[in-house]
Amino acid sequence: MPVVAKLTKKVVDSLISDGTKTGTLYWDRELAGFGVRVTTGGTKKFLVKYRTAGGRQRWLTLGAFGPLTCERARELAKVELAKVIEGADPAADREAKREAVTVAQLCDLYLAAARAGLVLGRGGTSKKQSTIDSDESRINAQIKPLLGQFAASEVTRPDIEKLKADVMAGKARRDVRTKRRGRSIVKGGHGAATRTLGLLGAIFNWGIDNGHVEDNPVRGVRRFKDAKRKALLTSDQYHWIATTLDYLAGERHENGKPKHHARGITAIRFIACTGLRRGEAANLHWNEVDQDGRCLGLGETKTGFSLRPLGRSAYQIIADLDDQDSEFVFPSETGEHGYRGLPNLWRTVKKTARRLVRETPQRAAAEADEPGPLDGLTLHSLRHSYAGMAEALGATLPTIGALLGHSAGKSQEGVGGVGGVTGGYILKRLDRSLLDVADRVSDHIVRAMRGEQITAEIINFRPRSVSIRLHGARRTAH
């Protein structure tokens, strides 16, 4: 292989290929391992050749002559050869960076593992499909558009801070039609930023466990407080829900068929009187309803198996329903799965309530943009209000947790998520006091939906007065 005294611009300009397919190599005598490759097409690229600490010969391309001057190429060669002396392998490092997964690829690997049941959620159980779908939606809506092209191993905390700011500002917002009756609406805000960082942090943690990255740049990034939607519906709001559902149940097409899904309307009443999550109601099976109508044994919930007390008024909502040749209490038109139209139906309920209230004599002159009685409420608000009603009736937090099926610690077994040894004892039973609370809550809500004014007696703690004798005198202490 030809050797030149020193690779300078004048020398490199004069170099030609000898016709070798792989190119002709010219080496610099002054700096061992530094050279240039000249191809038959006239392309000239600087490179270094070295041996690793293990004795393996490696080649590292520095760049093309022209954009890279001889002087700069020599400086880069010295830097890379110095790394070799220190025990590094620059060619291997470059190859590793080239093959490193991007954030988008890391997300795809995470989702694939989740679908295979290899990503554990709450209580050490595999993530449910609904949770995976939600994760995938957030990944496609926020993470991939804003951070997907970055190499996962090179993402830094400032990158995460920028992601947080961009999501909050709605940089990835969109509103596009996905199918005939579907839209993909992406917004920003504090809540979206917090939930996006939570998911991304979980993805990086999974990446560390599986050898894709070495660090989690999300760790330590402060998040906005994820404000929980809390709502305690008024008696008037409960009444408007019932009035609107009755109105929608009576609407008919010209051919006489109902305009709205009857079981969907019933499902909303049932959610209001039980505090079930939307998905729990939509996927409720008949074999999950106690034959005496006193409880629900939900096999698939956010926290695993859950035994819920069922108030008598709530049970009456479904007691007379027939199974319609379906295993679901609230089946779809085909009966093959649970009713999936609750979100759209709830939007119709709110819109219709807004129109109906404006048609009342008292509100005939209301402004067109005045909010309706149910505006701002979601189906999950009915769950929050159910809990609020229980609290107003004097139920304790553990009792409310059992009513709602909240998880209590790592163990997901037991009544409403009551865990540990106690949960094991009462896995298949509900005590009378819990059933009584469920009865009282559902009764109150049904009465409110009928338009009755309801009140709740709350017992507050008042310390007892104690008489204390001091130096012969009696004083009353509180």
Residue owning tokens 């530094």:
34
Comparing C-alpha atoms, which of 262, 278, 246, 277 is closest to residue 320?
Answer: 262
Question: Does 287 map to a domain?
Answer: yes
Instruction: List CB contacts of 107: < 8 A, sequence separation 6 or more.
Output: 139, 143, 144, 148, 203
Interatomic CA distance for residues 443 and 437, integer angstroms: 10
For the stretch 409-412, contacts whose Cβ atoms lie closer than 8 Å and that sit 24 or more positions apart, written own/partner, are 410/123, 410/124, 411/123, 412/122, 412/123, 412/125, 412/303, 412/304, 412/305
Both tokens of residue 351? 């819109």
Interatomic CA distance for residues 392 and 309, integer angstroms: 18
DSSP state for residue 260 in the 8-state scheme:
S
Task: Indicate whether 126 and 165 sit together in one domain.
Answer: yes
What percentage of the chain's residues is helix, strand, coil (to nearest 5)? Answer: 45, 15, 40
DSSP state for residue 383 in the 8-state scheme:
H
Which amino acid appears at position 233 of this protein?
L
In the chain, count H helices and then E strands.
17, 11
State which of 71, 99, 127 marks the end of a domain.
Answer: 99
Question: Does 316 map to a domain?
Answer: yes
Spatial contact of 140 and 176, defined as CB atoms under 8 Å apart: no
Question: Does 410 map to a domain?
Answer: yes
Number of domains in the chain: 3
Task: Indicate whether 321 and 259 sit together in one domain.
Answer: yes
Question: Does 70 map to a domain?
Answer: yes
Q: Helix, strand or coil for residue 165?
A: helix
Interatomic CA distance for residues 395 and 434, integer angstroms: 9
Question: Does 457 map to a domain?
Answer: no
Element (H, E) at 474: strand 473-477
| pTM as predicted | 0.64
DSSP state for residue 142 in the 8-state scheme:
I
Task: Indicate whether 173 and 107 sit together in one domain.
Answer: yes
Interatomic CA distance for residues 250 and 260, integer angstroms: 9
Comparing C-alpha atoms, which of 93, 85, 72, 102 is closest to residue 12?
Answer: 72
Task: Indicate whether 284 and 409 sit together in one domain.
Answer: yes
Bridge partners, 473 (sequence order): 470
Task: Indicate whether 252 and 302 sit together in one domain.
Answer: yes
State which of 79, 99, 119 marks the end of a domain.
Answer: 99
Domain with 138, as residue range(s), is: 103-209
Helices 90-99 & 70-85 angle (0-180, nearest 10): 100
Question: Does 217 map to a domain?
Answer: no
How confident is the chain (478 residues) per 10-residue block, as mean pLDDT? 92 94 94 96 96 93 94 96 94 84 95 92 79 93 94 94 94 71 72 93 94 92 72 90 96 92 96 95 94 87 81 94 87 91 95 90 60 92 95 91 74 45 50 90 95 63 62 58
Q: How far does Cα 418 stand from its chain's mean position?
A: 24
Task: Indicate whether 389 and 443 sit together in one domain.
Answer: yes
Phi, psi values for residue 94, rounded to 5°? -65, -40
Comparing C-alpha atoms, which of 382, 390, 388 is closest to residue 241?
Answer: 382
Both tokens of residue 277? 């999550």
Report pLDDT for 299: 84
Which amino acid appears at position 141 of this protein?
A
Per-residue b or e along 317-335, where b marks 16 or more CB atoms closer than 10 Å to that residue's CB: bbeeeeeeebbbbbbbeee
CATH number where 129 lies: 1.10.150
